[in-house]
């Protein structure tokens, strides 16, 4: 028996075998349409594709020298997906060729998908997609209905089973282009940036807000230390997280296109009839201009975008619509870090943040007493302890200790949003008067809410809560300072 088997293995195989028997060659050329008769590569080998699969029917046509899904001409083009599809259809190889008597064995009696392809030379080939081959990363296909059956890579099945939205482009926002070789004398280059952003939507129905780049040329104002400042509803310096977020939003790429040309009912289904979060932003290129050692900035190529976010899919991606594109996209939560941001998240959490040299006086009224700390600045004095004189009621007090007390004043942190605005006499009134008359005066009134919280009402209209422990610290350190004791931060 062993000798007989050895002889059988030495017998040559037929080139084609019947039924479910197959021939195995390294590769079999099935379609070769990517080059012309002279061997030159054809840029666009496919002219038209008619696809039918479980997700519906659609036609891919050539328009303006590129392929598009018919009816989606108003939407971004998924160039990479079209290239992947046409590459497979114009240069297809197989690992096996099968002559079958029962096509149902291969799932070709009821194909999962079909494609009718018209090539650059006007030749037409039809493709039918059968079953996947378990564990083989392959699938069965048949050409021209009565033709042979081949096994090809599973990527062919993936392409034919795609919905038409798969061919919509997902690059939704691109950074504005910089001019060529735009570098100033200091070597600083032009940079695409977020210039401003307005956030609204149902998630912020009580307090939509906006912020923008800080263009102030005055280095001695309350906003001097901030890259971005809020412009609505109140003018405030922003948290560091805003600057970090701004660096990530000059581009936006969707995970996928979900639905083209959605109906009103579909918009409601995706939560986009009344968007959860809305972002209107302006991108621009920031160009440095350095004169006499001072750097100022100009802007060009400003571009505005609008992004609406609805509900989320099973993977945590937001359903989104961008600008005038009539399509719903899925975007990752990481790509829209502003999605849930509230005003309280965006503003700096300190009561104020400014250089002490810009302050003329600080007045604190509490527990029936008013203390006014008058500051005189001596900028030519090299000794830090002598560069500022502090007086209370005409009496000169310690400058180093007041610097510590100043940090206590600043470190009254915003804790949360206030439920309502209190009225009547405040428990504490804090007033900071700047050196410059055109600078912002800070007035904060604190009302005790309960044992753990105070409500702070700012002169600009902002209202929020602070921890009672920070107010207790304020009381204690003012007393220490006035009594000549160490101020503890």
CB of 160 within 8 A of CB of 166?
A: no
- 3-state SS, the chain, equals CHHHHHHHHHCCCCCCCCCCCEEEEEEEEEEECCECCCCCECCCCEEEEEEEECCEEEEEEEECCEEEECCCCCCCECHHHHHHHHHHHHEEEEEEEECCCCHHHHCCCCCCEEEEEEECCCCEEEEEEEEEECCCCEEEEEECCCCCEEEEEHHHHHHHCCCHHHHECCEEECCCCCCCCCECCCCCECEEEEEEEEEECHHHCCCCEEEEECCCCCCCCCCCCCCEEEEECCCEEECHHHHHHHCCCCCEECCEEEEECCCHHHHHHCCCCCCCEEEEEEEEEEEEEEECCEEEEEEEEEEEEEEEEEEECCCCCEEEEECCCCEEEEECHHHCCCCCCCHHHHECCCCCCCCHHHEEEEEEEECCEEEEEEEEECCCCCCHHHCEEEEECCEEECHHHHHHHHHHHHCCCCCEECCCCCCCCCCEEEEEEECCCCCCCEEEEEEECCCCEEEEEECCCCEEEEEHHHHHHHHHHHHHHHCCCCCCC
The torsion angles phi and psi of 297, rounded to 5 degrees, stand at -130, 140
Average pLDDT, the chain: 91
Residue 409: other Cβ atoms inside 10 A: 23
What was the pLDDT predicted at 293?
A: 76
Instruction: Report pLDDT digits (tens) over 292-322.
Output: 777 889 999 999 999 999 999 999 999 999 9
Strand 66-69: give its sheet, edge to edge.
22-32, 91-98, 149-153, 138-143, 124-133, 113-119, 46-53, 56-63, 66-69
What was the pLDDT predicted at 99?
A: 82
What was the pLDDT predicted at 183?
A: 55
For 246, the token pair is: 């701004």
The torsion angles phi and psi of 478, rounded to 5 degrees, stand at -65, -45
For 228, the token pair is: 């971005």
- Rounded mean pLDDT of 316-329? 98
Residue 255: other Cβ atoms inside 10 A: 16
What was the pLDDT predicted at 351?
A: 92
What was the pLDDT predicted at 131?
A: 96
The CA distance from 452 to 458, in Å, is 20
Kindly tell me if the per-residue pLDDT of 413 is higher than 90: yes
The CA distance from 428 to 237, in Å, is 23
- Rounded mean pLDDT of 187-198? 90
- Rounded mean pLDDT of 473-478? 96
- Rounded mean pLDDT of 144-167? 94
End-to-end CA distance of the chain: 95
What was the pLDDT predicted at 219?
A: 66
- Rounded mean pLDDT of 243-259? 97
For 67, the token pair is: 């392929």
CB of 93 within 8 A of CB of 150?
A: no
Least confident of 24-28, 68-72, 463-467: 24-28
pLDDT bracket for residue 126 (50, 70, 90): very high
Name the residue with higher pLDDT: 220 or 404: 404
The CA distance from 70 to 72, in Å, is 6
The CA distance from 449 to 464, in Å, is 11
222-236 per-residue burial string, b: 16 or more CB within 10 A, e: under 16: bbbebebbbeeebeb
What was the pLDDT predicted at 26?
A: 74
From 380, 376, 468, 371, select the one nearest 416 (Cα to Cα). Answer: 468
Instruction: Report pLDDT digits (tens) over 61-91.
Output: 999 989 999 999 999 999 999 999 999 999 9
The CA distance from 171 to 476, in Å, is 57
- Rounded mean pLDDT of 128-140? 93
The CA distance from 286 to 318, in Å, is 30
Name the residue with higher pLDDT: 216 or 118: 118
| Half-sphere exposure (Cβ direction) of 102: Cα atoms closer than 13 Å | 5
For 316, the token pair is: 């945590």
CB of 47 within 8 A of CB of 118?
A: yes
Residues sharing a CB contact under 8 Å with residue 28, sequence separation 6 or more, in sequence order:
93, 94, 95, 96, 97, 150
What was the pLDDT predicted at 217?
A: 66
- Rounded mean pLDDT of 1-6? 41
What was the pLDDT predicted at 10?
A: 37
For 466, the token pair is: 């602070």
Based on its alpha-carbon atoms, the radius of gyration of the chain, rounded to whole angstroms, reads 35
pLDDT bracket for residue 222 (50, 70, 90): confident
What was the pLDDT predicted at 25?
A: 53
Instruction: Report pLDDT digits (tens) over 168-186.
Output: 999 999 999 998 655 555 5
What was the pLDDT predicted at 9?
A: 38
- Rounded mean pLDDT of 392-421? 96
- Torsion, Cα 153 156 162 168, to 10 degrees, reads 110
Percent above pLDDT 70 for the chain: 92
- Rounded mean pLDDT of 356-361? 95
Length of the chain as a residue count = 489
Strand 327-331: give its sheet, edge to edge.
236-237, 228-232, 209-213, 191-200, 277-291, 294-312, 318-322, 327-331, 256-260
Largest CA distance in the chain: 119
What was the pLDDT predicted at 15?
A: 38
């Amino acid at each position: 028996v062993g000798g007989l088997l050895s002889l059988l293995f030495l017998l040559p195989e037929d080139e084609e075998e019947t039924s479910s028997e197959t021939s195995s060659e390294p590769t079999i050329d099935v379609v070769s349409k990517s080059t012309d008769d002279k061997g030159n590569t054809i840029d666009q080998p496919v002219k038209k594709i008619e696809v039918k699969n479980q997700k519906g029917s659609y036609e891919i046509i050539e328009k303006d020298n590129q392929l598009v899904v018919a009816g989606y001409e108003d939407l971004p083009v998924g160039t990479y997906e079209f290239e992947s599809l046409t590459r497979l259809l114009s240069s297809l190889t197989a690992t096996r060729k099968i002559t079958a008597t029962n096509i149902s064995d291969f799932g070709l009696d009821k194909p999962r998908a079909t494609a009718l392809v018209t090539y650059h030379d006007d030749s037409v080939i039809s493709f039918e997609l059968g079953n996947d081959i378990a564990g083989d990363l392959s699938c069965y296909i048949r050409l021209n209905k009565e033709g042979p059956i081949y096994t090809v890579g599973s990527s062919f099945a993936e392409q034919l089973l795609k919905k038409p939205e798969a061919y919509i482009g997902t690059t939704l926002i691109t950074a504005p282009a910089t001019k060529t070789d735009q570098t100033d004398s200091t070597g600083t280059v032009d940079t695409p940036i977020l210039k401003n952003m307005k956030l609204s939507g149902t998630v912020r129905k009580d307090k939509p807000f906006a912020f923008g780049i800080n263009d102030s040329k005055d280095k001695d104002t309350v906003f001097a230390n901030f890259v971005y400042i809020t412009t609505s509803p109140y003018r405030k310096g922003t948290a560091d997280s805003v600057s970090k977020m701004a660096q990530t939003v000059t581009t936006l790429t969707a995970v996928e296109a979900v639905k083209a040309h959605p109906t009103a009912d579909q918009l409601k289904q995706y939560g986009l009839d009344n968007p959860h979060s809305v972002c209107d932003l302006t991108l621009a290129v920031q160009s440095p201009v350095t004169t006499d050692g001072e750097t100022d900035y100009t802007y060009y190529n400003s571009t505005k975008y609008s992004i609406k976010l609805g509900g989320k899919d099973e993977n945590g991606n937001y359903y989104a619509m961008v600008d005038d594109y009539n399509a719903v996209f899925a975007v990752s939560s990481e790509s829209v870090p502003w999605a849930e941001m509230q005003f309280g998240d965006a503003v700096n959490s300190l009561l104020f943040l400014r250089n002490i040299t810009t302050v003329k006086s600080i007045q604190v009224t509490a527990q029936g007493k008013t203390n006014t700390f008058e500051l005189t600045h001596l900028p030519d004095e090299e000794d830090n302890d002598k560069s500022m004189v502090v007086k209370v009621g005409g009496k000169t007090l310690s400058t180093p200790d007041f610097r510590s007390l100043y940090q206590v004043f600043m470190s009254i942190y915003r804790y949360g949003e206030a439920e309502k605005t209190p009225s009547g006499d405040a428990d504490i009134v804090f007033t900071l008067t700047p050196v410059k008359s055109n600078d912002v005066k800070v007035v904060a009134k604190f009302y005790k809410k309960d044992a753990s919280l105070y409500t702070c009402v700012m002169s600009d209209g902002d209202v929020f809560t602070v921890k009672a422990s920070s107010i207790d610290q304020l009381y204690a350190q003012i007393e220490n300072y006035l009594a000549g004791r160490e101020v503890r931060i």
